[in-house]
C-alpha cells in the first residue's frame, strides 16, 4: 500500500471519529425577578437660580457705604449699601419749606375767600372781586398740593439712598465701589446681583427626537463636574415648546427643579441630565428575548433537555407566551405584560417570582475523549508523549 492510500485511510478514520462526537446542546434559562424598570433620556443643561435679583438705585449720587460683598449672605430687608445723602437731604428740606410757604398762601387766600363770599352774598362787592378771590384760592390750593407731592418725592428719594436686600440670598455679583457715582436715568443703575441658592433649576436642552417622551413631574438625576462624585436629584417642572436651532440641530428647553440646601450647586455650572421617562420599581421582570423563544426538536436525542408539555395557550390583548421550565418539562404559559424598555419587560400577572423561563439554546462542541481518542500519526504529539 503506497503512502497516498495510507494518508487517505487515516483522513477518513479521523473524519469518522469527529462525526462520532456529537455537539452538546443546553437550554438557557432566566429567573423572573423583581427589580426596577427604567427608560431614560439624556441631555445637557446649565444651572440657574430660580430667584435672582439685580439690586439697583433709583437716585443719582455717590456710593457712600457698602455693607455686602461677594458671597455675603443677606436677608430680606437688610441694609446693604448707602448713597451720600447731603444733596437728597437738602432737596427734602427745600421741599418742606415750599410746603410751608404754599400752606400759608393757601390759608391766606382761604380767609380772603370766606370774607369776600360773605360780602358777595350781601351784594357788598362785585362779582369780579369775588371771582378773583375764588381763582386765587384755587391756584394757591393747587400750589399747596404740588408742594406736598414734591415733599413726598424728596422724602422717598432720601429713603432710596438706603438700599436694602429684596430677598434672602447670597451676593454673587457686586458692580460698584465706594466713591463711585451712580446715575439713575431710564435704566436703574445696578449695584448687586443677589441669588437664592437654596432653590436652583437646570435649563436642559433635549433633542427633538426625545422631547415627546418628557413630561412634567418626571424624576431626574444629574451630575456636575464641580462635584463629579455626587448625583443630584430633581424633577421636571416645565417643558418649553419654543425650539432652538443650532447647526441644524433642534432642541427644546426643559426646566428641572433642584433643591440645593448645601449650596453645592452654583449658577453657571454645566449639568449632565438623565430624565426618567419611565421608572417602575419593584416589578416582576423578564428579558424581552424570552417572548421570542420557541422549543426545537431534539435532533441529537439528548434526553437531558426539557421536553414540551402541554399546548400553547391562546393569548389576548396585552398577553404573550413564555416557556416555563418545570422539572424536565417546558410548559407554555400565557402572561400579561406591562411596560418595556426594549431590554426588559414587566410581567403584570401569570408568572410567579423566581420562575425559570427558557430564553434560548446554546451548543458547545464535545471535548476530546482523552488518551483513547483516535490521533493521526502524522500530527504533532503532546509533550511527554511517545510516538507509537
- Which cell goes with 349? 400577572
* 302 has pLDDT over 90: no
Query: With bands split at pLDDT 50, 70 and 90, how would you rate the model's confidence at 378?
Result: very low
**What pLDDT score was predicted for residue 4?**
58
Residue 89: exposure state from Cβ atoms within 10 A (0-12, 13-18, ≥19): middle
**What pLDDT score was predicted for residue 7?**
55
> What's the rounded Cα separation, in Å, for the pair 345 and 370?
45
- Which cell goes with 305? 433537555
Mean pLDDT of 161-186: 89
- Top-confidence residue, 18 or 215: 215
Query: With bands split at pLDDT 50, 70 and 90, how would you rate the model's confidence at 184?
Result: confident
> End-to-end alpha-carbon separation of the chain, Å?
20
Backbone angles phi, psi at 375, to 5 degrees: -140, 140
- Top-confidence residue, 220 or 228: 220
Mean pLDDT of 305-334: 88
In sequence order, what are the residues at sequence separation of 6 or more whose Cβ sits closer than 8 angstroms to the Cβ of residue 89?
Answer: 158
* 176 has pLDDT over 80: yes
Q: Are strands 307-308 and 329-340 parallel, antiparallel or unpaired?
A: parallel
State the CB neighbour count (10 A cutoff) for residue 271: 23
Backbone angles phi, psi at 53, to 5 degrees: -125, 130
> What's the rounded Cα separation, in Å, for the pair 105 and 99?
10
pLDDT-above-70 percentage for the chain: 85
Query: pLDDT tens digit string along 19-68?
Result: 545 567 788 999 999 999 999 999 999 999 999 999 988 888 999 999 99
Query: With bands split at pLDDT 50, 70 and 90, how would you rate the model's confidence at 297?
Result: low
**What pLDDT score was predicted for residue 368?**
54
In sequence order, what are the residues at sequence separation of 6 or more whose Cβ sits closer than 8 angstroms to the Cβ of residue 366?
Answer: 21, 22, 23, 24
Mean pLDDT of 249-273: 94
* DSSP letters for 88-130: HHHHHHHHHHHHHHHHHHHHHHHHHHHHHHHHHHTT-S-HHHH
Query: With bands split at pLDDT 50, 70 and 90, how would you rate the model's confidence at 372?
Result: very low
**What pLDDT score was predicted for residue 362?**
84
Predicted model pTM? 0.67
In sequence order, what are the residues at sequence separation of 6 or more whose Cβ sits closer than 8 angstroms to the Cβ of residue 336?
Answer: 318, 319, 347, 348, 349, 350
> What's the rounded Cα separation, in Å, for the pair 73 and 352?
57
Q: Dihedral of CA 234/236/238/244: which sign?
A: positive
**What pLDDT score was predicted for residue 376?**
46
**What pLDDT score was predicted for residue 365?**
59
> What's the rounded Cα separation, in Å, for the pair 228 and 100?
68
> What's the rounded Cα separation, in Å, for the pair 181 and 145?
33
* 152 has pLDDT over 50: yes
Mean pLDDT of 224-238: 94
Instruction: Please check whether residue 262 is in contact with residue 226, taking contact to mean a CB–CB distance below 8 angstroms.
Output: no
**Which one, of 204, 216, 217, 197, lies nearest residue 259 by Cα?**
197
Amino acid at each position: 500500500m503506497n503512502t497516498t492510500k495510507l494518508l487517505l485511510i487515516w483522513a477518513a478514520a479521523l473524519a469518522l471519529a469527529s462525526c462520532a462526537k456529537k455537539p452538546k446542546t443546553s437550554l438557557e434559562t432566566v429567573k423572573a425577578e423583581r427589580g426596577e424598570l427604567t427608560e431614560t433620556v439624556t441631555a445637557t443643561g446649565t444651572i440657574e437660580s430660580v430667584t435672582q435679583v439685580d439690586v439697583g438705585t433709583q437716585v443719582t449720587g455717590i456710593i457712600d457705604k457698602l455693607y455686602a460683598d461677594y458671597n455675603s449672605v443677606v436677608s430680606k430687608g437688610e441694609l446693604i449699601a448707602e448713597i451720600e445723602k447731603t444733596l437728597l437731604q437738602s432737596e427734602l428740606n427745600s421741599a418742606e419749606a415750599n410746603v410751608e410757604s404754599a400752606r400759608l398762601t393757601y390759608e391766606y387766600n382761604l380767609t380772603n375767600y370766606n370774607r369776600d363770599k360773605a360780602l358777595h352774598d350781601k351784594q357788598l362787592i362785585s362779582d369780579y372781586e369775588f371771582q378773583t378771590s375764588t381763582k386765587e384760592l384755587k391756584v394757591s390750593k393747587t400750589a399747596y398740593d404740588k408742594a406736598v407731592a414734591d415733599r413726598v418725592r424728596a422724602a422717598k428719594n432720601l429713603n432710596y439712598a438706603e438700599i436694602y436686600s429684596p430677598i434672602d440670598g447670597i451676593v454673587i455679583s457686586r458692580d460698584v465701589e465706594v466713591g463711585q457715582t451712580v446715575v439713575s436715568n431710564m435704566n436703574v443703575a445696578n449695584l448687586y446681583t443677589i441669588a437664592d441658592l437654596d432653590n436652583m433649576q437646570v435649563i436642559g436642552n433635549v433633542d427633538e427626537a426625545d422631547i415627546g417622551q418628557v413630561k412634567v413631574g418626571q424624576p431626574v438625576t444629574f451630575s456636575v463636574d464641580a462635584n463629579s462624585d455626587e448625583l443630584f436629584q430633581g424633577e421636571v417642572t416645565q417643558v418649553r415648546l419654543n425650539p432652538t436651532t443650532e447647526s441644524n440641530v433642534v432642541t427644546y428647553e426643559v426646566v428641572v427643579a433642584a433643591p440645593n440646601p448645601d449650596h453645592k450647586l452654583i449658577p453657571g455650572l454645566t449639568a449632565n441630565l438623565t430624565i426618567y421617562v419611565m421608572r417602575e420599581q419593584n416589578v416582576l421582570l423578564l428579558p424581552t428575548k424570552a417572548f421570542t423563544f420557541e422549543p426545537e426538536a431534539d435532533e441529537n436525542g439528548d434526553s437531558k433537555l426539557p421536553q414540551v408539555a402541554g399546548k400553547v395557550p391562546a393569548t389576548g390583548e396585552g398577553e404573550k407566551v413564555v416557556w416555563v421550565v418545570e422539572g424536565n418539562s417546558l410548559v407554555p404559559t400565557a402572561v400579561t405584560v406591562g411596560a418595556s424598555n426594549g431590554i426588559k419587560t414587566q410581567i403584570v400577572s401569570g408568572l410567579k417570582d423566581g420562575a425559570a423561563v427558557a430564553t434560548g439554546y446554546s451548543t458547545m462542541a464535545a471535548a476530546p475523549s482523552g488518551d483513547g481518542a483516535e490521533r493521526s500519526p502524522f500530527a504533532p504529539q503532546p509533550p511527554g508523549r511517545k510516538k507509537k
